[in-house]
Amino acid sequence: MLAPFLSIPVSLFLAAGTIFCLTKALTGRAGLPRWNYGVHALMALGMLGMVWHGVDLPLLPQVLLFGVASFWFLLQAVSRAEFSLLCHTRSGRIRCFYHAAMLAAMVFMLLLPHAAAVQDTSSVAAGQTASGPHAGHALTPAAASGSAFNVLWMQPAAQLLAIVFAVAVLIWLLPVRRIAAGLRGGRAPGMRTVSRPLPIILERSYEAGAALTMSLMFAAASM
């Protein structure tokens, strides 16, 4: 999917992100955060497999895994406070909705090459039907055009997702809360320096890098 000159740096980042998430999953104390970091580690590994798309991984287990993981984060985002799940604060719910959408986008990205293959097969079958004497041995042109129409929406959807995740990179990198507070208070944002603990810096860097990887991969898939 990605250009060759991007594959190596993106792969190095995803490998570092996998190690970071696995470390958090193995060394954490609370159970639910450990599960969530484990899901993020699997997501980073899944993106690494997409970067090196020559690695032939089974499609159905990946779709089921990331689909269930997306539902898991969605469940946390909409859960009531009496349930001992995460994402009870406003920012926590937004993060869980974002992670649910990101994992759903992973499923969509996994299905993109399959849809393209179906479209190519339909086009070839339509050509064979148009030139061959036996129409019963191939798809009809109407069926082929219908199959092609069903996947036409995937390219603009991939372009839209590339833009959405590019915006997410900026949100993860910029101190959005501090800028908003400065604007509300009439102060110039960026004048005060706020120190952040190293784990928070690493986590936001991972989130920004994962969003950048998704943006680049969707942009490459839409071309």
pLDDT digits (tens, 9 = 90+) for 110-127: 887 655 554 554 444 444
Would you tell me how many other CB atoms lie within 10 Å of the CB of residue 163? 12
Between CA 77 and CA 93 the distance in angstroms is 5
What letter does residue 16 receive in the DSSP assignment?
A: H
Quickly state the pLDDT bin for 54 (edges 50, 70, 90): low
Residue 29 has pLDDT above 60, yes or no: yes
Helix (H, G, I), strand (E, B) or coil at 58: coil
Residue 135: per-residue pLDDT = 44
Residue 139 has pLDDT above 80, yes or no: no
- The domain locations on the chain are 154-223
Between CA 53 and CA 65 the distance in angstroms is 18
Residue 122: per-residue pLDDT = 47
User: Which residues make Cβ contacts (< 8 Å) with residue 41, sequence separation at least 6?
Assistant: 17, 18, 21, 22, 25
Between CA 158 and CA 16 the distance in angstroms is 26
Q: Is the dihedral of CA 104, 107, 111, 113 positive or negative?
A: positive
CA 175, 173, 85: angle at the middle one, nearest 5? 80
Between CA 186 and CA 167 the distance in angstroms is 25
What the block records as the tokens of 154 is 């995937």
Quickly state the pLDDT bin for 143 (edges 50, 70, 90): very low
Q: What is the mean pLDDT of the chain?
A: 76
> Highest mean pLDDT range out of 127-141, 142-156, 191-205?
191-205
